[in-house]
Each structure stands twice: as structure tokens, then as C-alpha cells.
Amino acid sequence: MPAARDVSGAARPKRVTLRDVAARAGVSLSTASLVFSGRGPVAASTADRVRAAAEQLSYAGPDPLASSLRQGRAGTVAVVVEGRLGDAFADPFARSVMDGLAGELDAIPAGMLLLARVPGDDARLLGQLAVAACDGVVFPLSGPRTDPAVDLIVGRGIPIVGAGSPVDPRVPQIRVDERGASAAMTRHLTTLGHRNIGHVTMPLTPGAMTSVATAADVADAVYGDARGRALGVLDVAPAARVVQAASLEIAAGMTAARLLLDTAPDARPTAVVAQSDLLAAGVIRAAGELGIRVPEDLSVTGFDGLDLPWLDYDLTTVVQDGRAKGRALGELIARAMAGQSVSSQAFPTQLRVGTTTAVARP
């Protein structure tokens, strides 16, 4: 057979395979395989000969694809993040979850295939999942409550785990009691005497714009954690005015906050529950620009428990350990991939009172 030629016309030498190495070392293909996998008993002298042959032929080790096919495992876990990559990782909490998850995947060991659900192009994610070589799929971040990808992945016989979404009996979860934690936070504020409470939600639906949200909007929310947290607020403060932020960024929190705060002082909420720390930072910033003092005139709360050194406050927030959450997800998918049956687990949060909440002014 002549050497293969690629489009550019350059001669491409035939690839060296384990067969070539075995031939050169004067052993059988199977023995050579045993040397590289270290799985069987091989005489030291034989092993050396094989390795020497590999060296001479500059054989770089067994082809991952062939190896994977034979072994029936891709050695890879698909991880789906919500939104474009640059946005998905803008949230420090998301980063800490991913960090913990990455550590566990390393330990399996498994590679991490990163897939993004680009807003407005759901088909792309489905297509990628259909052809992706992976042994498991993780949804580590808040995503849509229902997801057609689940059918597809289950159809391929691959285990899935999530962090609250997609909601499906076939998807074991590391589950945070968003609603309960959010209700507890709101109760903290009512206990301080706040009666007029505003709420800034994360986006309730993909492509959300900054807007006032009705109870129906909340109930119909696509994103499960935003929905849960909003419901928690409404459980305790049914009259709360709810504003949806357009993204998780500080600027979005500012914009949303203005909808609540830029009004007559006596109609203005005395407390704002934000669904994330970054949104809370935006609220505080917007308050500052409007001359509203925190916490004297306005109490502000967040969610996640981030370390925000540049914030001049110690934010009252709901602390969850993102890295631990990521690790828990990693352990869950590892067990599922090992064929063990796994079930959803509760993940703890803790209310931490800082300097951004105070008793309501009389």
C-alpha cells in the first residue's frame, strides 16, 4: 500500500501501531498489549524489549479510541453548562462547583467534556450529546427544569446526574432546598420588622430581560432554582415585589434593583432579597447611587456565600459550599457509571447574617 496522502499532498507515513511494536520486539500482539496495560504477567526482559521497540518506532502508546472501543468506556464525562462559556463561568459559585467536580472526575479518572447550552440554540446541545463519546453526563448548574436531552442520553444508556435540574425521575440529584433556604432568609427579614420586601431573581427563563415578574411568571419559570428561591420568598412575604434580572452579573443586579428602589421613599422596599451574592452586590451598588444607605435604609441579602473582598460589607447570605457540591456530583456520577444504583441527596445550606441587614426603620 502506498503511503496515504492528505489533501495538501504531503506524504503521511502510515501510523505505527501496537502490531508494529510487537513485531519489532518479536512478541505477539497480545503480549505487547499486556506490557502497556500492565494487566497481565509479563517477564521483565520481555517488557523491556517491547518498550525498547516502542521507543525506536516512536510509538506513543495505545490509541485511546481503539482502547476505548474495546473496553466499552470512553473515559470521559460530559458536563453541561448553561449559557455561553464566558457567561457560565462568570459566576464564582458556578466556578467553585466546577472546580470540585473536576477534582472528582480526575480521581475516577475521567476526562471532562465541556458542553454549553448556548441560549437560542438548543439543537446544538442535543446534537453534541448525540455524538459525544462519554460515559456519563452531569448537569452541575441550574438549568431548565425539563430538558429533551434527558431522553436522548437515557436512550444511549448513559447515566445522568444533576444539581436540581433537569427534574426527571431518571436523574439523581444533589439537591439544595432552595425554597426553604430562601424562605428562611425572608423570615430573617420579617423578624427584623421588614414588611415591604423586594426580590431580585436570577433569570427565570432563557433570554430574560429585566422586568417585574408576577406570581404566574414565577410559577412558570423555566429555571428550577430561580423558581424555588422566588417561591420561598413568596411563601413568607406573599406581597413581595419581584423583579427578574437579565443575567447573573452585578450590572444586571443594579438594573433590576433600580426597578425596585427608584421610587418614592415611602413606597420603597426596606429590604431586598437577591437570589445570588453578585446580584446582591448590584443591589447595594444601585442603592448607593440612589443615596440609599445599607443597611440603615435598606437591608440586602444574597445567596451562595461567596467571598467578595471588594464589597465593603459582610453580606447576609445563604452559604453553600460550591466545591463540596461539585465533589458530591462527581461522586454521584462515578457511582452511577460504576453501575451502582444512586439516588438523590440533600445538600445543606446555612444562613449567615452579615452587616447588610438590620432592623427596619420605624
* The residue count for the chain: 362
Residue 108 interacts with a second copy (CB under 8 A): yes or no: no
Residues ≥6 apart with Cβ < 8 Å to 294: 284, 287, 288, 300, 313, 356
Q: How far is the CB of 36 from DNA (least distance, A)?
A: 5
Residue 339 interacts with DNA (CB under 7 A): yes or no: no
Q: How far is the CB of 341 from DNA (least distance, A)?
A: 22
Q: How far is the CB of 144 from a second copy (least distance, A)?
A: 20
Q: Which is nearer to DNA, 23 or 102 (CB)?
A: 23
Residue from the set 12, 48, 55, 70 that interacts with DNA by CB under 7 A: 70
Residue 319 and residue 304 in contact, taking contact as beta carbons nearer than 8 Å? yes
What's the one-letter identity of residue 33?
Answer: S
Residue 64 interacts with a second copy (CB under 8 A): yes or no: yes
- Residue 107: count of CB within 10 angstroms of its CB: 12
| Residues 322, 328, 331, 335, CA torsion sign | negative
Q: Which is nearer to a second copy, 145 or 335 (CB)?
A: 335
Report the distance separating Cα 263 and Cα 130, nearest Å.
Answer: 50
Q: How far is the CB of 108 from DNA (least distance, A)?
A: 16
Residue from the set 2, 3, 6, 39 that interacts with DNA by CB under 7 A: 39
How many residues belong to the site for a second copy (CB under 8 A)?
Answer: 62
Q: Which stretch binds a second copy (CB under 8 A): 106-114, 172-180, 185-193, 257-265?
A: 106-114
| DSSP assignment string, 253-308 | HHHHHHHHHSS-TTTS-SEEEESSHHHHHHHHHHHHHTT--TTTT-EEE-SB----
Residue 293 interacts with DNA (CB under 7 A): yes or no: no
Q: Which stretch binds DNA (CB under 7 A): 17-25, 120-128, 199-207, 327-335?
A: 17-25
Residue 362 interacts with DNA (CB under 7 A): yes or no: no
Residue 246 and residue 203 in contact, taking contact as beta carbons nearer than 8 Å? yes
Residue matched to cell numbers 413581595: 240
Residue from the set 43, 52, 209, 212 that interacts with DNA by CB under 7 A: 43
Residue 262 interacts with a second copy (CB under 8 A): yes or no: no
- Residue 40: count of CB within 10 angstroms of its CB: 10
14, burial (CB in 10 Å: exposed 0-12, middle 13-18, buried 19+): exposed
Residue matched to cell numbers 441560549: 119
Residues that bind DNA (CB under 7 A): 15, 17-19, 26-31, 33-34, 36-37, 39-43, 45-46, 59, 61-63, 65-67, 69-72
Residues that bind a second copy (CB under 8 A): 6-8, 10, 15, 58, 60-61, 63-69, 74-76, 84-87, 89-90, 92, 95-96, 98-99, 102-103, 106, 109, 111-116, 118, 124, 128, 130-133, 152, 155-157, 250-251, 254, 281, 285, 309-310, 323, 338-341
